[in-house]
């Protein structure tokens, strides 16, 4: 454990708290978006761009529920990232910066961000088909989109992964230096 400045420990605790709130709120927002589309959830301003206008109250509830089940896969990776972030920030607040567990948690964040984009992209096809199914033959669609948010998330995941690896190398170098004394 390392002594870290109080302001950094406090900021880490705040970020852990926000990550915890995200763990509770995010899945509820995703579920509400599918279960109560339109006016009932517009006030949340939580929109999933890849769904477009296909998700609306006219889509039968069973099809929206099936689409929500598909959306659960990328949502699970977001929750894993938030869970890992929460634990990571709590470890930072306690002064644990370079332990194997801390580096593993940072790596988990990178993997979860990357997997969320890939799985989210793959789930767009069945979700779009389910949401357009009730429109009938000739009006059903399967769509895929890769937007700037996805590209940003992939680069962010790559950056976090590189930072985790650099921190692991720094830890090994520090351990080697300690063994020479």
pLDDT value for 105 = 96
Q: Judging by beta carbons within 10 Å of its beta carbon (0-12, 13-18, 19+), is residue 23 exposed, middle or buried?
A: middle
pLDDT value for 54 = 73
User: Distance (Å, rounded) from C-alpha 163 to C-alpha 107?
Assistant: 9
Given a contact cutoff of 8 angstroms between Cβ atoms, the answer to whether 59 and 37 are in contact is yes
User: Distance (Å, rounded) from C-alpha 156 to C-alpha 136?
Assistant: 40
pLDDT value for 181 = 60
Residue 26 lies in a domain: yes
Residue 1 lies in a domain: no
pLDDT value for 1 = 63
Question: What residues contact residue 81 under an 8 Å CB cut-off, 6+ apart?
Answer: 108, 109, 112, 113, 116
Residue 50 lies in a domain: yes
Given a contact cutoff of 8 angstroms between Cβ atoms, the answer to whether 163 and 148 are in contact is no
- For the chain, the domain total comes to 1
Tokens of 11: 């900021």
Q: What is the mean pLDDT of the chain?
A: 89
Residue 103 lies in a domain: yes
Give the tens place of pLDDT for each residue, 30-71.
998 888 887 666 666 666 655 666 778 889 999 999 999 999
Q: What is the mean pLDDT of residues 123-146?
A: 88
What range defines the domain where residue 79 resides? 6-180
Q: Which residue has the tokens 């998330």?
A: 153
User: Distance (Å, rounded) from C-alpha 110 to C-alpha 118?
Assistant: 13
pLDDT of 147 strictly over 60: yes
Residue 43 lies in a domain: yes
3-state secondary structure of 58: coil
Angle, CA of 90, 20 and 146, to the nearest 5°: 110
Residue 110 lies in a domain: yes
pTM of the shown model: 0.87
């Amino acid at each position: 454990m390392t002594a870290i400045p109080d302001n950094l420990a406090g900021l880490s605790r705040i970020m852990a708290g926000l990550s915890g709130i995200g763990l509770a709120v995010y899945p509820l927002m995703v579920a509400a978006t599918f279960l109560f589309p339109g006016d009932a959830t517009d006030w949340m301003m939580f929109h999933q761009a890849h769904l477009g206008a296909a998700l609306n109250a006219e889509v039968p509830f069973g099809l929206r529920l099936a689409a929500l089940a598909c959306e659960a896969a990328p949502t699970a990776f977001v929750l894993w990232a938030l869970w890992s972030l929460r634990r990571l920030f709590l470890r930072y607040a306690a002064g644990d910066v370079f332990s194997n567990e801390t580096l593993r948690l940072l790596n988990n964040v990178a993997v979860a961000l990357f997997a969320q984009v890939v799985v989210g992209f793959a789930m767009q096809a069945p979700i779009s088909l389910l949401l357009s199914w009730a429109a009938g033959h000739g009006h059903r669609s399967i769509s895929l989109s890769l937007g700037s948010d996805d590209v940003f998330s992939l680069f962010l995941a790559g950056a976090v992964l590189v930072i985790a690896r650099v921190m692991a190398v720094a830890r090994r170098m520090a351990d080697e230096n300690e063994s020479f004394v």
